[in-house]
Amino acid sequence: MENNIAISPEEAADFEEYKRRKKILELRGRLRGLEPTLVRKNASAMEIRSVCEQAKRIQSACVCVQPVYVRTCKNLLKNTGVGVSSIIGGNSESTLKVKLYELKNSLREGANELDFYPCISAIINGNYTYFKKEIKKILRRARLRTVKIHLDAYSLPTDKFLRIAQIALDAGGKYLCVRAEEELITLLQRQLKKKCEIKAWGVETPERFKDMLALGCARIGSELVGEIVQGMEEEVNGLCAALPAPVEEIPAS
C-alpha cells in the first residue's frame, strides 16, 4: 500500500505564511534603494514627517531633503538606520564657495549623504575645467560620504552629456544622478562601463520603479513613495495568492 503524505490545515496555513514572509523580505530588499524625496520649496512640516515615516517603513538608505530640513529629519530618523541626504547647490549656479559652505553646514546638521548640483552654465559654455574642479572639491570636503552628482541633460546633446558624465567619473565621482529615462541610463552605462552607480530620479509609478531596478540603478528617487510601495505590496500579495499551496492528500486506505 502506497502511503501519501497529508498535511493538516495548520501546516497549510504555515506554508502560506512562509510564502508571504519570503515575498515580503524580497520586497524589502528591492525597496531599500528607493529614496523618499521632498525638495519642494513649499513642503510642510507634516510632509517632512511623512517622508521620514515612509523611509522608516521601508528601511530606505536615506531620505533626500533640502538643507533646512536635515536636522529635523536626522532627529525623526534617530536610531532607525535611515540616513539623510542633503541637497547641495540646488539651483546649480551658486558659487563653489557657497556650495562648500552648504556642504559643511549640512554635515554639521547631520547629513550622511549629499545630492550635489554642479554648475550647469559651466557645462553649457564648455568650461569643463571649472566643472571638474567643483566636483573634486566637493568630493574632498565630503570625506568619503556618498555624493550623488546630478547631471542635468535637459538642454544637452547626447555627446555633451556623455562627456560630462565621463569627466565626473574621472574627477572621482562614484554616483551619478540622472532622469529616469531608459535610453539615457543605458547610454550612460555603456559609456562608463558600469564603473559608477546610478541614481534615477523622478520615478512616479511602481512600473517605472521596476524598470529602473531592471536597469541596475542603485538608488531611485521619488516624491511618490507611498504609491510605489502600495503598488509593489499589492503585487506581492497577488503573487502569494497565485502560488499553489500544498495539496492536502487523504492517505490511501
The predicted pLDDT at position 233 comes to: 78
Contacts of 75 (CB under 8 A, 6+ apart): none
The predicted pLDDT at position 156 comes to: 84
As a whole number, the mean pLDDT across the chain is 86
Q: What is the dihedral of CA 6, 10, 13, 14, to 10 degrees?
A: -90
Q: What pTM value is reported for the model? A: 0.83
pLDDT over 70 (residue 236): no
The predicted pLDDT at position 31 comes to: 84
pLDDT tens by residue, 46-73:
999 999 999 999 899 999 999 999 999 9
The predicted pLDDT at position 142 comes to: 97
CATH hierarchy code of domain 33-242:
3.20.20.70
* CA 178 centroid distance within chain: 12
The predicted pLDDT at position 240 comes to: 47
